Chain A
Amino acid sequence: MTEAMPENGCCATPRCERMPLSESEHCYQHLPDEQAWRRRLEAVLSQLRELDGYNLSGAGLSKLDLSGKRLHQCRFSGAVLSDCNLDHTRWLLCLFDDARLTGCTVREAVVHASIIAGAEIIDTDFTGSDLVQSNFNGTYVAHSSFADCDLARSRFIAARLEHTSFVNCNLKDVLLIDTAYTDLDFRLSNPEDARFERSNDAPGGPFRHENLYP
């Protein structure tokens, strides 16, 4: 059971139609003082365990600690998260579409019905997370780990997955359609319960189950 995010006005900069960041009247591109905004953000984050309707779209977020927080209806669309700690977070209908996650940890998180479509996920660790019914369509995932994750009913349509671990995952009803993949590890998982499809003209040719076990 999750709630969806509200829409919040526009950036204070004339003619800018982007949503303002939380803790600011401006979008990230028009922040008058990024460092002051970052200080305000960290001060607020240190007080709150639950972020409701927060908008951090497009923001550059380096080494941000969100561990243990409940992210309700939050927008991180197009945000750049590097070395951020999202361990033990609970995402409820959050938008990470077109976000870039590099060197982040999202261990033992609960991510339900969230949109990560089009994101770039590199060197990021989702170990032990519950990622049920999430949208990873069009993502580029490399050198990351989904070990011990529940990915039931999630979708990786048109995604590109490289050098990533899916060890001991629940892949029930996961859709990997036209997904390009290189060097994935499905040991102790149930890829037979997922749906792999690839057209004949896709890079690497049509899907063959035995290719999952090189």
Chain B
Amino acid sequence: MKIFIHNSPRERTNSYVIGPDGPGDALIIDPVELDVPLLNLIENNRYYLRAVLLTTPRPQTVEGLRTIKRVYDAEVFSSYPRIMEFSGKSLERRQKLSVSGLELEAIPLEPYSRFTLVFCIAHLFFSGTMLSAGLIAEHQPEAERLLIAEAFRQIVAPLPDTMVVLPAVGPPSTLAAERRFNHELNADREAQTGEPE
């Protein structure tokens, strides 16, 4: 398995292409545009995009989706059965599925929202826009941030420290680093012990 990071110069967000070591079917997570570097990446590796996974359908994502669907016959996986004119596979509950030959787990960010997803593929944790290195949902209101932090605490509790966190915004991280340096992810533990990690 190979994974490539593409940072959109326009939106400053990350999308991830995952494919086999050789030519074959690939998937993309949270695309915001299909620009020339991204298209070159896909084509130079002789990949064919078979799936688009969306953690949170956003206006920027939807725009990129339209271009991708013109070029590739890719199935859309998100929490909604339909995004614009495109129908797709709706992921409304925690479930394991096989996409483009990869085993992945889609996990809704409950209790915050069942329409926001994170994805686990092997040792990779795709956290979308809600968890980035050291921060949780920094643009959301305080009340929502508490719910999102609680949802992440529940989701990551059984996962190993070595998992690599690949967010839609900002640099990558590890779960170990998030457990230590993400103040909001550790709020409960800090309250119990009386001191930060």
Contact = CB atoms under 8 A, between A and B. Distances in A.
B134 A3 contact: no
A157 B122 contact: no
B183 A137 contact: no
Nearest to A57: B162
B115 interface: no
A135 B183 contact: no
Interface of A, secondary structure class, is loop
Contacts of A157: 133-135, 181-182
Interface stretch (A29-37, A110-118, A204-212): A110-118
A4 interface: yes
Interface residues on A, range: 20 to 34
Nearest to B12: A153
A173 B162 CA distance: 27
A7 B162 CA distance: 10
Contacts of B172: 4, 93, 113-115, 135
Interface residues on B, range: 20 to 34
Contact of B122 (A7, A135, A153, A175): A7
Contact of B177 (A6, A93, A133, A137): A137
B170 A155 contact: yes
A154 B171 contact: yes
A95 B173 CA distance: 9
Contacts of B181: 117-118, 137-138, 157-158
Interface string A75-94: 00100000000000000010
Nearest to B166: A4
B8 to A, nearest CB: 11
A12 interface: no
B6 A137 contact: no
Interface string A12-50: 000000000000000000000000000000000000000
B36 to A, nearest CB: 12
Nearest to B41: A1
Contacts of A6: 1
A137 B173 contact: yes
Interface string B104-137: 0000000000000000001110000000011100
A208 to B, nearest CB: 21
A95 to B, nearest CB: 7
B164 A117 contact: no
Contacts of B122: 7
B177 A135 contact: yes
Contacts of A117: 133, 173-174, 177, 180-181
Contacts of B171: 113-115, 133-135, 153-155
Contacts of A118: 176-177, 180-181
B37 interface: yes
Interface of B: 1-7, 12, 14, 37-38, 41, 122-124, 133-135, 162, 164, 166, 170-174, 176-177, 180-183
Interface of A: 1-7, 77, 93, 95, 97-98, 113-115, 117-118, 133-135, 137-138, 153-155, 157-158, 173, 175, 177-178
9 interchain residue pairs of minimum CB distance: A157-B134, A117-B177, A138-B181, A135-B171, A4-B3, A137-B181, A137-B134, A135-B133, A158-B181
21 contacts: A1-B6, A1-B37, A4-B3, A7-B123, A7-B162, A98-B176, A113-B14, A113-B171, A115-B171, A115-B172, A115-B174, A133-B7, A135-B133, A135-B171, A135-B173, A137-B133, A138-B177, A157-B133, A157-B134, A157-B181, A177-B134
